[in-house]
Structure 1
Amino acid sequence: MRPAAETRFGRVFDIEEYDDATTVHVGDLELSFAETQHSELCFAARVTDGRASLVYSGDAGLTGGLVEHCKDADLVLLEATYTRDLPAHEAPRHLSARDAGELAQRAGADRLVLCHLGSDDADNVERLRIAAARFGGVTDIATENATFVL
């Protein structure tokens, strides 16, 4: 964490670092993490209550480790930074809509929600179409105040 952020957040929160071997318990919830492929240190988080699970990818490239972390999740919240194929310089560190759909399908997830989208509604509808076609399951776009029951 950058020093300024650590100082600012440290006044309000107890800050603890984690890695992909860390498991955190918050009430009845268990959080586990998987390091993702990105230009900065970044982790995907899996949250479960033992009955249902949600995985949030954060910024991530498509890797076997991320697929494994998402395995059998009830809901995967995956970035879809690009509508079409990624530019070569972005491929290792972000997902396209097709990548998100493929990841959800390979992981056996029940539901896919796309995030990290642009502001162009037409592009986002296209992202939804592409991801849903590749995934083959229920696919949504993350919107403000959206609620998903697991």
Structure 2
Amino acid sequence: MRNLLSGSGRRVWLPGGERVALRAAGPRDRAAVSALYALCAPQPQPGRRAACAWLLSPRMGRGLLAEAAGRRPVAWAGLLSDGTGAELLLLIAPAWWRRGLAGVLLPELLCRAGRFGIAEVWAHGASGDALEAAARRLALPVTADADRTGVTLRG
């Protein structure tokens, strides 16, 4: 399966002036994604290590890891494929909220999703409102679920 980003990825500047490196994430990034999950989860959940391994499996999905100076992971965004659709999962370290990472990761993932034949991306849960707001700021086509528990983005 092809990576979202080829090679070592690329560096981007966030609106606040911070620089992060974006690169394809895979099984070797289990510890980094597990650490981000621990930072972002409201409370530790059993089976986290197994879930992270599953999320990083090239057979199940594709993802991007954002790293700050010193290769410190600050965000991970992943797409779990389901035919022509995919579920979006987004983990951003709390210290990096409101720095524009979602605005960098969303279009990057959606652009590549189209290349893999993914026509629709959905997100559920507490991040739905934040994702909807980010998608609207980026002028991405977005529809909020009727029960407001998630959003659907179409490419």
Q: Please state which structure has a larger fraction of its residues in helix.
A: 2
**Greater C-alpha Rg:** 1
> Normalization by structure 2: what TM-score?
0.36
> Normalization by structure 1: what TM-score?
0.36
